[in-house]
Each structure stands twice: as C-alpha cells, then as structure tokens.
Chain A
Amino acid sequence: MTILKDVLGELFAMFVADVRITTAILAIIAVTAILMDLAGVSALVAGGFLLAGCLLTVIVGVLGAAR
C-alpha cells in the first residue's frame, strides 16, 4: 500500500508541482482554445498567446517562489 501511495504521490507531483503554475498553464490553454474556436482569432495569434503565456508563467513562477 505504501508503494502504491508513493507511486500515486509521485505521479501527482509530476504534474502539480505548484498549484498556481498548474492553474495558470491550464487557464492559458483554455483561453487559447476559446480564442480560436469562439472568438475567431487566427491560429497564429492564438499560438503566440499560448507561447507568450507559458514563457510569462515561467518568469512569474520563479520570481514568486523566490519571494
């Protein structure tokens, strides 16, 4: 049971190392999809938003954690 618990914990930690970063990334992806499908924004602009959002998440995540 301990091994199973450790494996599940490891899998969870792999993708949710920091709840705020995970939430931010999922929100950026959701907004990208909405921009493309509902707002009719061109795929290239939506792609730029996705990339810029992820890059910004790295900076904000590192600066926030160091505070």
Chain B
Amino acid sequence: MTEWSTAVPAVSAAFLASSVEVVEAFTIILVVAVLRGWRPALLGTAAALALLAAIVVILGPLLGYVPLSLLQLVIGVMLLLFGIGWLRKASLRAAGVIPLHDENAIFAKESAQLSEEAKRNKTSLDWIAGIAAFKAVLLEGLEVVFIVIAVGAGRGLLWPASLGAAAACALVLVAGGIAHRPLSRVPENTLKFAVAVMLSAFGVFWTGEGLGIDWPGHDLALPVFAALFLAVGLLAATLVRRRTEGTAT
C-alpha cells in the first residue's frame, strides 16, 4: 500500500524538479522554433524524449534485481550529492552571490549562438537547430530521469513519481505554448530551493535506511529532515547576505 508520507514528497519533488528542468529546456526549444520553425524543434525534442524513454525502459527493470538496501544506499548517496549541491547553489542565489537564472537572457544568448552557427554552416541549418533542441531536452531530461528514479525506486513509487514529472512537462509546455516566449516569470530559484530541500531529505533518509538505520517515526522522519534542510539553507543564505551587506557598508 502507498504510504502517503513518502508518496506526497516523492511526487512533489518529481513535479517541481521537472518543472524547473522543462522550463530550461523549453527556452532552447523556443529559440530553435523562432529561428528555424517548429519542425526541427519538435524533431529534436521527440528524438531526445525517445532516447530518454529507452534509457528508462532499459534501466528501469534492472533496478528490480538490485537488493533493496543496496539500492537505497546508492540512490541515497547520489541524492545527497545532487540535493546538497543544488541547495548550496540555491542558497547562494537567494543570498545574491550567484545571479538568478534569467530565461530571457538565456533566450537571447542561445539565439545569438545559433544564428552565428547557422551563418558559418549554411547547408544544414535545420540539422544544427534540431541538434540544439535534442541536446537541451536530453541534458535537462537526464536530471528529470535521475530524480524520478531516485525518489521513486526506494519505495516502489516509480509510477507516481513519473506521473508527477509528466504532469509538470505538460503544464510547462501548455503554458509555454500559450505564452510563446521564455517562461521567465517562473520562480525558478524558489522551486530549486524546495526541490533541493526534498532531495537532501530523501538522501539522508535512504542513505540511513541503506546503512541499516531505522529512523524514528519511519516515513514521518522525511518531513522533519526537509524542515531542517530548509531552515539550514535559509540560515546560510541569511548569514551570507548579512556578511555581504556588512562588507559593503
């Protein structure tokens, strides 16, 4: 039976993480569509999605052969490395040390790059544009695949986590299709902060379970860990902001 205390954070993490990644991929797809039309954009996107689906179809069943405690430990360690890395970056962005992700600026930069590339290689403009869309979807999609597997595999929640990710893809693509411009108003750093907090909490939880730790409260420990990571991330951002303001005055 599905434990809601694990399922809700897993589906939420997959949904939020996918939203962030799809917004980033959509910006590049839009660059390709605006410069070269929707055909190469959609072909590149479809090819990347097919490759990602193949990776999931091939790797997914193999997970069933890995002993659960080993699977939890490996996924937990990977989640900690990934989640704490994201949390560090999100805290630095919140503190103003690293600039926020600007989809409009990325759109302009990628447009200039693709135009430059097209000038140099006039015979295969659509091909270059399609490859750009393919690469963007593949690179961002790999992160989505990892997050879905990581938050879903440890408790048999691969399908709910996949649905969370698919819902995010559909939502972003519909919103992007309607707006027909980069989705720069999506609060990316807030979403990344939330995802990083959840991934770090899952990381500690799975790593501990993989090592044989029986957490007090079992699955209910997850929201407690998430609250602690949120508090620490915000505290770190506040400390850095105060130090920066103190140096400036």
On A, residues with C-beta under 8 Å from B are 3, 6-7, 10-11, 14-18, 21-22, 25-26, 29, 32-33, 36, 43-44, 46-47, 50-51, 54-55, 57-59, 61-63, 65-66
Contact = CB atoms under 8 A, between A and B. Distances in A.
Given A3-B135, A7-B142, A29-B77, 9 more contacts: A14-B85, A25-B80, A54-B204, A59-B236, A61-B88, A62-B237, A62-B240, A65-B88, A66-B95
Contacts of B131: 3
Q: Secondary structure of the A side of the interface?
A: helix
Contacts of A55: 228-229, 232
Contacts of B229: 54-55, 58
Interface of B: 77-78, 80-82, 84-89, 91-92, 95, 97, 131, 134-135, 138-139, 142-143, 146, 200, 203-204, 207-208, 211-216, 225, 228-229, 232-233, 235-237, 239-240, 243-244
Contacts of B142: 7, 10-11, 14
Contacts of B143: 10, 14
